[in-house]
Amino acid sequence: MDVKEIAKKIITDCPVRVGQKVPNFEMETYDPSTGKFGKVVLEDLLKERKWVILFFYPADYTFVCPTELADLAEKYDELKEMGCEVISVSTDTKFVHLAWHRDEPLLKNVKYPMGADPTGQVSRLFGVYDENTGLALRGTFIINPEGVLVGSEVNFYNVGRNADELVRKMKANVYLMSHPEEACPAKWEPGKKTLKPSEELVGRVGEVLNE
């Protein structure tokens, strides 16, 4: 194995961390908006200057998962308006995605691509692959248009997520992309005060936010 192959294996085997560039990946998909199979390639989305949200979940035909995908579907249009592409991902095949979308009433409004990761390659890249079950944990990852991972959240199998908080974090990330000298405090929403880290701010955060 030459140096390039070794480096590629190291990158593939080690989960990407927040602040790091995400290696290119691709997955087969089922796209409910067209009813067709397709493929998603990270490099292609970044060329379009897209934000990319990967929404990993354990498996189709399970219990918490359809509630999460339905919740995310309610926010899909709002996320698209911010320049995001959302891709749900499990280790099921694209064929199972199609059947599940057809059978499960909760998924009727799901229009974002459903990524198929049956080998677990992409799930391993983001550190959510469970070797004991062959399933992915509930992981949400935000990749900015530069290809850098800026958001990471992982839950165990039995705890569902809240798409409202994902939307809030995306608003903050989009704002900070054009205001890199600022920082968004807890519960920040557009229109609220941000912080500008400096010597003068040390020990005065509460005072500044209440001015």
Query: How many whole angstroms separate alpha carbon 117 and alpha carbon 75?
Result: 24
If one counts every other C-beta atom within 10 angstroms of the C-beta of residue 137, the result is 19
Task: Name the residue type at position 170.
Answer: M
For the entire predicted model, the pTM comes to 0.91
Q: Which pLDDT belongs to residue 82?
A: 97
Q: Which pLDDT belongs to residue 1?
A: 47
Residues 197 and 115 in one domain: no
Q: Which pLDDT belongs to residue 11?
A: 44
User: How many domains in the chain?
Assistant: 2
Catalytic residue (one of 14, 65, 84, 184): 65
Residues 128 and 143 in one domain: yes
Q: Which pLDDT belongs to residue 61?
A: 98
Residues 200 and 146 in one domain: no
Phi, psi of 93 (to 5 degrees): -85, 165
Residues 108 and 201 in one domain: no
Residues 198 and 96 in one domain: no
Q: Which pLDDT belongs to residue 6?
A: 40
Residues 102 and 203 in one domain: no
**CATH label of the domain that carries residue 88:** 3.40.30.10
CA-wise closest residue to 15 among 154, 202, 112, 135? 154
Task: Name the residue type at position 155.
Answer: N
Query: How many whole angstroms separate alpha carbon 52 and alpha carbon 138?
Result: 16
- pLDDT tens series, the chain, 211 aa: 454 554 444 345 679 999 999 999 999 999 999 999 999 999 999 999 999 999 999 999 999 999 999 999 999 999 999 999 999 999 999 999 999 999 999 999 999 999 999 999 999 999 999 999 999 999 999 999 999 999 999 999 999 999 999 999 999 999 999 999 999 999 999 999 999 999 988 998 988 888 8
Residues 93 and 193 in one domain: no
Residues 20/148, Cβ–Cβ less than 8 Å: yes
Beta bridge partners of 55: 88, 140
Whether 65 sits among the annotated catalytic residues: the reply is: yes
Q: Which pLDDT belongs to residue 129?
A: 97
User: 201 lies in which domain range?
Assistant: 182-211
Q: Which pLDDT belongs to residue 78?
A: 98
Residues 195 and 145 in one domain: no
Residues 62 and 91 in one domain: yes
